[in-house]
């Protein structure tokens, strides 16, 4: 079987659409067919952006693996499984990394929570830029507020954002929050007033512990926290297997 690269096929579709549009330029359907060509170009990826080229004096990335700093932090890296909003894995390994200052802050927050009978359960940390682009391209327009625009890069791409929740130390089970992880509804908002009193109490406990260590919650997701120094790190696009974490 002949194998044609995705890039070559995309170019073929683009030029075919343009030729089709120009060939009908003098006909009554010019507006319709030109619009069709533009839509096809967007669909095939011609209008999508590349990884942003940044200028600035950034810190050297120092990504460290969370569980190596604190083995009591649990992981549930769903993007390494089909159990996520895409329905397919985008990571080859179930691992979580952050820039060292952010990772150390996470361990301090975890110690504070353990005194109250809870621990941190991490869904995601550093995320390669290419995965952010997959998320953006796969998300409907009315849900874009729940994903980062790859033209700007994500704070996950900088190793300074973490998605996480709590687990009960006694039972070892994940607690219930007002919404599930990656739920794209208003129930995911950190100030959502619904849910049970206990769910809201646990959500606030998580937020207080994280804010005490320099993190800020994202306005649309109770589980997403950005570290205060995120602007000091560049966008990164390497796989977990390329990270040299001590």
Instruction: Considering the candidates 65, 174, 204, 221, report the single residue annotated as catalytic.
Output: 221
Query: What distance in Å separates the CA atoms of residue 98 and residue 104, rounded to the nearest whole number?
Result: 9
What count of Cα atoms within 13 Å lies in the side-chain half-sphere of residue 124? 26
Distance, CA of 102 to CA of 109 (rounded, Å) = 11
> Whats the size of the chain, residue-wise?
246
Strand 74-75 with 118-124, pairing: parallel
Give Rg (Cα) of the chain: 21
3-state secondary structure of 174: strand
Task: Return the beta strands (E) in the chain as ranges.
Answer: 63-65, 74-75, 97-99, 118-124, 161-168, 215-218, 221-227
Residue 78 falls in which region: left (phi positive, over 0), alpha (psi -120 to 50) or beta: alpha
State the CB neighbour count (10 A cutoff) for residue 152: 12
**CB under 8 Å to 184, separation ≥6 — which residues?**
85, 143, 146
* Cβ atoms 106, 66 nearer than 8 A: yes
| Known catalytic residue at 221 | yes
Catalytic residues: 221
């Amino acid at each position: 079987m002949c194998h044609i690269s995705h890039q070559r096929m995309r170019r073929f579709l683009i030029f075919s659409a343009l030729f089709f549009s120009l060939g009908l330029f003098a006909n009554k359907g010019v507006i319709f067919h030109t619009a069709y060509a533009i839509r096809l170009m967007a669909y095939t990826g011609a209008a999508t952006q590349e990884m942003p080229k940044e200028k600035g004096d950034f810190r050297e990335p120092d990504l460290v693996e969370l569980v190596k700093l604190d083995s009591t932090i649990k992981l549930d890296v769903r993007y390494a499984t089909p159990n996520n909003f895409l329905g397919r894995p985008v990571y080859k390994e179930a691992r979580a990394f952050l820039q060292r200052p952010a990772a150390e802050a996470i361990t301090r927050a975890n110690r504070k929570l353990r005194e109250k009978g809870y621990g941190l359960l991490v869904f995601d940390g550093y995320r390669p830029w290419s995965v952010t682009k997959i998320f953006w391209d796969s998300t409907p327009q009315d849900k874009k507020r729940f994903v980062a625009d790859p033209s700007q890069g994500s704070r996950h791409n900088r190793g300074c954002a973490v998605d996480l929740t709590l687990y009960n130390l006694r039972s070892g089970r994940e607690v219930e929050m007002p919404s599930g992880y990656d739920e794209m509804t208003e129930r995911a908002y950190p100030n959502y007033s619904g849910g049970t009193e206990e769910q809201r109490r646990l959500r606030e406990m998580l937020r207080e512990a994280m804010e005490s260590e320099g993190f800020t919650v994202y306005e649309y997701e109770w589980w997403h926290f950005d570290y205060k120094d995120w602007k000091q790190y560049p966008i990164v696009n390497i796989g977990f297997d390329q990270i040299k974490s001590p």
